[in-house]
């Protein structure tokens, strides 16, 4: 395939169109590119044909391979993809190792480009001349996920995720591969914005009216289990009881949260569920969880129940029950489900064409197809989906806007467990890597700043608030225990006030892995929010407020690190103050080591 193709023609076109997101970081997204399509014919008797399409943007490039329908290639078994990326200049890379047991959930490495091994995407690079690059893919559909292996110097080769079938991808023609994307920007804030390319390279919304997809904040029976205070399984410490769920519903209703997530409601958690999952039922609740009563009660309080399907990576079991499981939620008015695929990498259990169980990877073609099946089946029933241990995000929320969020990196749960906890720079890394790919269900806002056995989370209090603005997701959890929110009413207020859906997003200042300062305008509102996070060092920023409406006065409700705040010694030190500002003012702040800042701007009428 590699060398035996001859140029057979080319065409070009330009495209420029703005489109609207039903929900997102930006209401309007401009899709502006020049396209080159190059056709190749095989020179030998087979005469197989292939097309390569390039789309060139002001801040990046995408290309993909198209295999048209043809008699000599009715079906393609792809053993490997030979795409290579060679980075001209030396520089630093932020990367997550690929093909390791814990899937995407590794602390980021920051190394010279020449020390990268095999990386997941997005792989982000800053070269010596200050060029910021991120390598990723868009529209990963019926194909296997791409990782990047350094094959010498600064050259990387695509490594497709393996499949138990043999070939990494198996498909009938015609088809196109996912887009291979390089985002290219002069600085860190523009790199973040260039991620719009990922959305632009996806197809338009296929679901029609999606007003039933509701961005929201939610609480849940969740952190309790990660702290070992309650259990998913049945027994004296069972978390998902009717009674406790009603308490959560009351708390949600009282504080303006839209949903209550309940994990451990269904049969199958008893014993060692991890990596097995044959026992999970997605329709039978435990006897102490009256699902009809709980959903009725929620409705009476104007709150929804958020469903949960933990599969333990056993998609054979899940797919058998998928229809009835989603029907149950639809019948009960459960408009969203969090799914889960807890299993070691390569430990997905799927039913093959032979009716036998085969082991697959979380980002292989089988799982890529599984996720889209769940998303489209859920969409038919007006249910939104939020997978944990997911396939990476490649912008498919544009095409399927009920695919609202996902995990896919180390979230807050790591701060509940033992060591190592998420390092102070974790979120400043996420912004320019994982979050380039799309929304993350990180679950910020642990105001106790403690995990299991009173272990300390490596964050200041102000930073927990900042994360709601910094980490984009149209669904944001407030995971901490009710008592911890009730004990911190002043800081909890910000979590109640902050928006989750935006008209506009701007990164006001940022450096990969060091700091990120965001301003976001709430969707359909005149309020703006600023969120800033740093790393383990003290950071400072001084930014113009020229995003505010000229001439308008705003009350700035500021939550910043106290002057003596430090995640090691004084994490709870916070200053909460108000100022009147206009678009002509500036906002200058110190971010403590491990710290952050959050500001709400409310127009004064």
Residues serving a catalytic function are: 413
User: Of these partners, ligand NOJ, Ca ion, none, which one is at the site of residue 395 (CB under 5 to 8 Å by kind)?
Assistant: none
Closest contact distance (angstroms) between CB of 152 and ligand NOJ is 36
Q: Which is nearer to Ca ion, 370 or 388 (CB)?
A: 388
Residue 306 neighbours by CB under 8 Å, 6+ apart: 218, 220, 259, 260, 261, 262, 334, 336, 337, 338
- Pairing assessment for the beta strands 60-67 and 109-112 based on DSSP bridges: unpaired
User: Of these partners, Ca ion, ligand NOJ, none, which one is at the site of residue 575 (CB under 5 to 8 Å by kind)?
Assistant: none
Q: Kindly indicate which of the ranges 202-210, 312-320, 382-390, 391-399 contains the residues binding Ca ion, using the contact rule CB under 5 A.
A: 382-390
Q: Kindly indicate which of the ranges 327-335, 381-389, 419-427, 536-544 contains the residues binding Ca ion, using the contact rule CB under 5 A.
A: 381-389
Closest contact distance (angstroms) between CB of 57 and ligand NOJ is 34
- Which of 97, 159, 161 has its CA nearest to residue 123? 97
33, 173, 487 from 453: Cα distances, Å: 53, 56, 19
User: Of these partners, Ca ion, ligand NOJ, none, which one is at the site of residue 427 (CB under 5 to 8 Å by kind)?
Assistant: none
Q: Which is nearer to ligand NOJ, 122 or 411 (CB)?
A: 411
Joined tokens for residue 8: 């057979």
User: Of these partners, Ca ion, ligand NOJ, none, which one is at the site of residue 38 (CB under 5 to 8 Å by kind)?
Assistant: none
User: Of these partners, Ca ion, ligand NOJ, none, which one is at the site of residue 340 (CB under 5 to 8 Å by kind)?
Assistant: ligand NOJ
Closest contact distance (angstroms) between CB of 232 and ligand NOJ is 7
User: Of these partners, ligand NOJ, Ca ion, none, which one is at the site of residue 42 (CB under 5 to 8 Å by kind)?
Assistant: none
3-state secondary structure of 447: coil
Q: Which is nearer to ligand NOJ, 15 or 274 (CB)?
A: 274
Closest contact distance (angstroms) between CB of 408 and Ca ion is 9
Residue with tokens 């990576």: 313
Sheet containing 84-86: which strands, arranged edge to edge? 84-86, 155-160, 146-152, 118-119
Whether 67 and 73 have beta carbons less than 8 Å apart is answered as yes
Whether 254 and 278 have beta carbons less than 8 Å apart is answered as no
Closest contact distance (angstroms) between CB of 311 and ligand NOJ is 9
Q: Which is nearer to Ca ion, 406 or 600 (CB)?
A: 406
CA distance 478 to 487: 14
Residue 26 neighbours by CB under 8 Å, 6+ apart: 196, 502, 503, 504, 505
Residue 395 neighbours by CB under 8 Å, 6+ apart: 138, 139, 198, 199, 201, 202, 437, 438
Whether 389 and 313 have beta carbons less than 8 Å apart is answered as yes
Whether the bond between 122 and the residue before it is cis, its omega within 30 degrees of 0, is yes
3-state secondary structure of 426: helix
Residues 274-313 that bind Ca ion (CB under 5 A): none
Q: Which is nearer to Ca ion, 342 or 575 (CB)?
A: 342
Closest contact distance (angstroms) between CB of 344 and ligand NOJ is 13
Closest contact distance (angstroms) between CB of 342 and Ca ion is 7
Q: Kindly indicate which of the ranges 32-40, 94-102, 313-321, 387-395 contains the residues binding Ca ion, using the contact rule CB under 5 A.
A: 387-395
Q: Which residue is nearest to Ca ion (CB)?
A: 388
Closest contact distance (angstroms) between CB of 226 and ligand NOJ is 7
CA distance 268 to 274: 11
User: Of these partners, Ca ion, ligand NOJ, none, which one is at the site of residue 263 (CB under 5 to 8 Å by kind)?
Assistant: ligand NOJ
Q: Which is nearer to ligand NOJ, 371 or 388 (CB)?
A: 388
Q: Which is nearer to Ca ion, 258 or 411 (CB)?
A: 411
- DSSP letters, 463-489, are HHHHHHHHS--SEEE--S-HHHHHT-H
Closest contact distance (angstroms) between CB of 331 and Ca ion is 29
Q: Which is nearer to ligand NOJ, 342 or 481 (CB)?
A: 342
- Which of 539, 590, 591, 569 has its CA nearest to residue 458? 569
Whether 515 and 533 have beta carbons less than 8 Å apart is answered as yes
Closest contact distance (angstroms) between CB of 431 and ligand NOJ is 20
Residues 115-154 that bind Ca ion (CB under 5 A): none
Point out which residues bind ligand NOJ (CB under 6 A). Answer: 222, 263, 310, 340, 342, 388, 407, 413
Residue with tokens 């498909």: 171
Whether 597 and 530 have beta carbons less than 8 Å apart is answered as yes
Question: What phi and psi values does residue 411 have, to the nearest 5 degrees?
Answer: -95, -165
Q: Which is nearer to ligand NOJ, 222 or 432 (CB)?
A: 222
Based on the number of CB atoms within 10 Å of its own CB, is 360 exposed (0-12), middle (13-18) or buried (19 or more)?
A: buried
Helix (H) or strand (E) holding 509: strand 502-511
CA distance 83 to 148: 10
User: Of these partners, ligand NOJ, Ca ion, none, which one is at the site of residue 310 (CB under 5 to 8 Å by kind)?
Assistant: ligand NOJ
Question: Contact positions toward Ca ion, by CB under 5 A?
Answer: 388
């Amino acid at each position: 395939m590699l060398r035996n193709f001859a140029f057979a023609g080319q065409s070009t076109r330009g495209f420029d169109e703005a489109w609207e997101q039903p929900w997102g970081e930006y209401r309007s997204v401009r899709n502006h590119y020049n396209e080159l399509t190059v056709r190749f014919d095989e020179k030998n008797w087979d005469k197989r044909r292939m097309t390569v399409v390039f789309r060139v943007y002001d801040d990046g490039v995408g290309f993909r391979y198209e295999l048209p329908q043809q008699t000599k290639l009715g079906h393609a078994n792809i053993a490997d993809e030979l795409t290579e990326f060679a980075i001209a200049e030396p520089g630093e890379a932020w990367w997550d190792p690929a093909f390791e047991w814990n899937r995407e959930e590794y602390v980021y490495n920051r190394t010279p480009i020449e020390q990268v091994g095999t990386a997941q995407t997005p792989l982000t690079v800053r070269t010596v001349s200050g060029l910021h690059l991120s390598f990723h893919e868009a529209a990963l559909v019926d194909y296997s996920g791409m990782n990047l292996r350094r094959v010498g110097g600064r050259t990387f080769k695509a490594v497709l995720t393996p499949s138990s079938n043999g070939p990494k991808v198996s498909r009938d023609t015609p088809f196109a591969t996912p887009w291979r994307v390089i985002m290219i920007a002069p600085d860190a804030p523009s790199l973040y914005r260039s991620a719009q390319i990922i959305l632009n390279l996806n197809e338009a919304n296929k679901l029609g009216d999606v007003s039933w997809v509701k961005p929201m904040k939610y609480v849940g029976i969740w952190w309790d289990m990660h702290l070992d205070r309650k259990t998913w399984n049945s027994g004296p410490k069972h978390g998902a009881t009717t009674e406790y769920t009603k308490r959560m519903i009351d708390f949600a209703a009282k504080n303006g949260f839209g949903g209550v997530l309940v994990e451990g409601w269904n049969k199958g958690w008893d014993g060692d569920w991890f990596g097995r999952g044959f026992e999970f039922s997605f329709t039978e609740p435990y006897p102490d969880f009256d699902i009809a009563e709980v959903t009725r009660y929620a409705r009476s309080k104007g709150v929804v129940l958020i469903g949960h399907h933990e599969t333990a990576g056993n998609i054979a079991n899940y797919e058998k029950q998928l229809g009835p499981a989603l029907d149950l939620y639809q019948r009960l008015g459960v408009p969203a489900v969090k799914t889960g695929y807890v299993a070691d990498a390569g430990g997905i259990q799927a039913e093959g064409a032979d009716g036998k169980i085969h082991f697959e990877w979380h980002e292989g073609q089988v799982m890529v197809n599984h996720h889209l099946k769940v998303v489209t089946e859920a969409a038919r029933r007006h249910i939104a989906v939020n997978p944990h241990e997911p396939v990476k995000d490649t912008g498919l929320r544009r095409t399927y806007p009920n695919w609202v969020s996902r995990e896919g990196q180390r979230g807050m749960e790591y701060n509940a467990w033992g060591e190592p906890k998420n390092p102070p720079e974790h979120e400043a890394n996420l912004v320019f890597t994982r979050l380039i790919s799309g929304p993350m269900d990180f679950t910020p806002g642990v105001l106790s700043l403690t995990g299991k056995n009173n272990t300390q989370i490596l964050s200041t209090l102000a930073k927990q608030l900042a994360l709601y603005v910094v980490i984009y997701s149209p669904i944001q959890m407030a995971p901490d225990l009710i008592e911890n929110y009730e004990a911190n009413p002043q800081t909890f207020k910000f979590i109640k006030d902050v928006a989750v859906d935006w008209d506009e997003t701007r990164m006001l200042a940022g450096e990969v892995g060091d700091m990120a300062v965001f301003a976001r305008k709430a969707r359909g509102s005149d309020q703006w929010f600023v969120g800033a996070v740093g790393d383990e060092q003290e950071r400072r920023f001084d930014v113009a407020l020229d995003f505010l409406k000229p001439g308008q006065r705003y009350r700035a409700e500021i939550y910043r690190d106290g002057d003596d705040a430090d995640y090691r010694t004084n994490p709870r030190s916070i200053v909460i103050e108000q100022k009147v500002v206009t678009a002509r003012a500036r906002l200058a702040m110190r971010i403590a080591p491990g710290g952050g800042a959050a500001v709400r701007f409310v127009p004064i009428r």
